[in-house]
Amino acid sequence: MFRRVLPSVRRISAAKRFSSGVDGDSYRLNEYSVKYLGNREATFTEKLKIHDDKWAPTIPIYRVTDALGNVLDSSQDPKFYEQTSLKIYKTMTQLNIMDRILYESQRQGRISFYMTSFGEEGNHVGSASALEPQDLIYGQYREAGVLLWRGFSMTSFMNQCYGNSEDIGKGRQMPIHFGTNQLNFVTISSPLTTQLPQAVGSAYAFKRTPNNNRVVVVYFGDGAASEGDAHAAFNFAATLDCPVIFFCRNNGYAISTPTSEQYGGDGIAGKGPGYGLNTIRVDGNDVLAVHNATKEARRMALENKPVLIEAMTYRLGHHSTSDDSTAYRSAEEVETWGDKDHPITRFKKYITERGWWNDEKEKEWQAEVKKEVLSEFGKAEQRKKAHYHEMFEDVYDQLPPRLVRQRDELDKIIAEYKSEYPMETILPK
Amino acid sequence: MVLRGASILAQCAARVGQQARGKAHFTFQPSTAIPAGLENVERSKMNLMQSVNEAMRIAMRTDDSAVLFGEDVAFGGVFRCSVNLQKEFGKDRVFNTPLCEQGIAGFGIGLAVSGATAIAEIQFGDYIFPAYDQLVNEAAKYRYRSGNQFNCGKLTVRTTWGAVGHGALYHSQSPEANFTHTPGLKLVVPRGPIQAKGLLLACIRDPNPCIFFEPKILYRMAVEEVPTGDYVLPLGKAETVRPGNDVTLVAWGTQMHVALEAAQLAKEKLNLDVEVIDLQTIQPWDEDHIVESVKKTGRLIVTHEAPISSGFGAEIASTIQKRCFLNLEAPIERVCGFDTPFPHVHEPFYLPTVTRVFDAIKKTSTF
């Protein structure tokens, strides 16, 4: 080993002795620029300066409307047709109403868990509306609006929350862990950020497909961005040039942890350029801005240029039904955000101004959605759970012999102690 | 100064080198039986590294979606397993990733979710732990948690495994038991080039996420006449490599060669016929095969390099104790690594050597 290495060390030191300083400088600058910095210009400086963390300007927040919903620069208005506008508005409100009902139902102990999307409806629908149905979505857990936009039925939402026999996830995961192959929405899992490097892998697979017309969009929160998997994903996406959009919902909190305790830099967007990601920060409560940003990001991603979008918003609801957020933030703060800036009220102005919406339509729509949610909720509640044999399926593509034996053991136990099990809640075999 | 240092160091290196090339703790025993159906197939001489390389070449030739990635795989890999593959299949199919194991595993899962065949390399089994979350919480549970809406069955993670003579704490580990407690993964360890090729191809094509542990000490040492062309060996099946009636000895990977040597020694010195079984697939494992053997011999020894406590030997021992209680004529013995980190200079004292396995055979047979 040593003998092989040392002669080359000798050659390098000899080469150093005979090269002139100036040539060496330009050689190195070129090398650093091309090989080390991805063709970014490398320079020397003789001024000792440690760049403080506020050295670079913060990335501005792109918006189309102000907090009252007025379009500020008409060139940025996506000029939606009536139909699209109404679908956007209706999806946001539908999500909001579903959230309110399911939240209450958890409080009554009818489902075990729930997470609302209050205040973030604009993120979901603004981005989902800028994508194509074939684009693959990976979510964190607070992206139900994306599913609604894609046509995930109210029945499917309710079946999942109840884990009944018609849940396509077969009742195995906690409520809100939705997923559907048909709508290209990868099943949610609880471990934060694991979906990010996975999204990059899926994007790489798409990139290798001839005439690729698919991108991958992966949603995550500002807290999730602190996980190692976020670092992994940003770095892999940039070095492997993947058609992926990272969509960060920066809502100010990770459960009780404010962003000031989450990161020290210019938010999540501030990290983008450091990884070589194309980056934009957007007003997450402005559906139009989110839509425009996502649409442009999709165009770039299709050219295998990964994009990071940070959508600034505020988590109006509690983290989940297991959380009381007044323990770490004031009710007043929440109220103020809700009053001063809400994605639904902002967009309502857009459709009302154009004569596509009014109070009467609003009333009818609210009643219609409530009726549908409650009806589907009731039906889902009535459905039995799948037979317990279902618990053993899908661990592998086929049941290994050992698992068959374990299933048989449970059969025998249940045959003898039937009354100890909630048999009335499940379907017969 | 540099020159003088060089010559002194060169002399040192020579002496240390001679020491390091002392006798390995086992002798590689090439397979004598050719796997069923391959008896008439042409064979060519290969070491384990070359057979892994060949398996990946075949996998990639037969599946356009297959990609191979990891740290330093592009130039051929630090163990030369991917040598010439980038040349044949191009940079988009054989490529380096940033140095980040959780990223490699997650990226591989994502490829598989989109339907591509992902062959991920973790440079050493010792460095698989940053990917533990992705493998245990994600890969293993993908199909189950989604109700079979999604799966990452096309993922195979290859990683080097086991003692190498001087690898110390972080180039020696056998982490299979860290994964056997997780339903959803398949875990495979081959004992030589013939098995490595067939089992790796099986892993790559199996519709479940697999971790394939390659005994790195065998990469160059193990040379066999490997059947050419495309073949797979079944997952979930153990193989009786040496039949016997007196004691059953179960091992996998490198330890198979230690076991075979100990069995031969027991024949010579104690006139015992030890049946040696290669488990091959650690999860899901071939329970029935071991049960059948122990019903015949009445005695069982399990041996592995990994530490004894909660090692996979414990699972085998308790299962066999339950299923073969009336057949057992001696306590089930486990000959394993000690419950210490893997040491550097004390490796010869740490390992479950031929001597220790022989001693266990002796004690078990006279219990």
Q: Which tens digits make up the pLDDT trace of B21-67?
A: 456 899 999 998 889 899 999 999 999 999 999 999 999 999 999 99
Give the residues of chain A that fall short of pLDDT 70. 1-21
pLDDT value at residue A20? 61
Considering only the beta carbons, identify the residue of A191, A232, A400 that sits closest to B100: A232
CB contact at 8 A, B304 and B336: yes
Our answer to whether residue A332 is catalytic in this structure is no
Window B:339-358, CB contacts with A under 8 Å: none
Torsion, Cα B236 B237 B242 B245, to 10 degrees, reads 100
Burial classification of residue A312, based on how many CB atoms lie within 10 Å of its CB (0-12 exposed, 13-18 middle, 19 or more buried): buried
- Of A332, A389, A368, the closest CA to residue A98 belongs to A368
In this predicted structure, what is the pLDDT of residue B3? 46
| A184 close contact with B: CB closer than 8 A | no
Compute the distance between CA of residue A126 and CA of residue A140 in angstroms, rounded to an integer: 17
SS (H, E, C) chain A: CHHHHHHHHHHHHHHHHHCCHHHHHHHHHHHHHHHHCCCCCCCCCCCCCCCCCCCCCCCCEECCECCCCCECCHHHCCCCCHHHHHHHHHHHHHHHHHHHHHHHHHHCCCCCCCCCCCCCHHHHHHHHCCCCCCCEEECCCCCHHHHHHHCCCHHHHHHHHHCCCCCCCCCCCCCCCCCECCCCEECCCCCCCCHHHHHHHHHHHHHCCCCCCCCEEEEEECCHHHCHHHHHHHHHHHHCCCCEEEEEEECCEECCEEHHHCCCCCCCHHHHHHHCCEEEEEECCCHHHHHHHHHHHHHHHHCCCCEEEEEECCCCCCCCCCCCHHHCCCHHHHHHHHHHCCHHHHHHHHHHHCCCCCHHHHHHHHHHHHHHHHHHHHHHHHCCECCHHHHHCCCCCCCCHHHHHHHHHHHHHHHHCHHHCCHHHECCC
Name the token pair of B168. Answer: 């110390």
| Residue with the larger pLDDT of the pair A5 and B199 | B199
Rounded Cα distance, A235 and B204, in Å? 26
Q: What is the DSSP letter of B27?
A: -
Interface touch B149/A172, C-beta < 8 Å: no
Q: Cis before residue B284, ω within 30 degrees of 0?
A: yes
pLDDT tens-digit series, residues B272-304: 999 999 999 999 999 999 999 999 999 999 999
Chain A residue numbers touching B143 (CB-CB < 8 A): 394-397
ipTM: 0.94
- Confidence band (pLDDT; 50, 70, 90) for B86? very high
- What's residue A150's pLDDT? 98
Burial of A46 per CB tally in 10 Å (0-12, 13-18, 19+): exposed
Which of A1, A2, A13, A184 to mutate to probe the B interface, most B CBs <10 Å? A2
Strands B274-278 and A278-283: unpaired
Give me the active site residues of B, please.
101, 171
Query: How many residues can be counted in chain B?
Result: 367
Nearest-CA distance B97 → chain A (Å): 7
Nearest to A149 by CA among A299, A311, A287: A287
Q: Is A320 a catalytic site residue?
A: yes
| pLDDT tens column, B226-238 | 999 999 999 999 9
The pLDDT score that the predictor gives to residue A4 is: 44
Closest residue in B to A214 (Cα) is: B114
**Token pair of A168 as six digits:** 């396509």
Per-residue pLDDT for B8 more than 60? no
Mean pLDDT of chain B: 94
Which residues in B lie closer than 8 A to residue A167 (C-beta atoms)? 147
- Structure token pair of residue A72: 């500020």
| Cα of B310 vs its chain's centroid, Å | 18
Residue B326 pLDDT level (bands cut at 50, 70, 90) = very high
Planar angle of CA A396, B65, A218, nearest 5 degrees: 70
What is the distance in angstroms between the Cα of B116 and the nearest Cα belonging to chain A? 6
Nearest to A229 among B106, B115, B284 (CB): B106
Do B258 and B309 touch, CB atoms closer than 8 A?
A: no
- Give how far B12 is from chain A: nearest CA, Å: 9
Q: What is the pLDDT of residue B21?
A: 47
Q: How far, in Å, CA of A104 to CA of A120, rounded?
A: 19
pLDDT tens-digit map of B136-175: 999 999 999 999 999 999 999 999 999 999 999 999 999 9
| B118/A6 Cβ within 8 A | no
**Residue B60 at interface with chain A, using a CB cutoff of 8 Å:** no
Give the CA count within 13 Å in the CB-facing half-sphere of B297. 30
B18 touches A at CB < 8 Å: no
| Interchain proximity A202–B110, CB inside 8 Å | yes
B98:A235 CB<8 A? yes
B208 touches chain A (CB under 8 A): yes
**Residue B102 Cα, gap to closest chain A Cα (Å):** 7
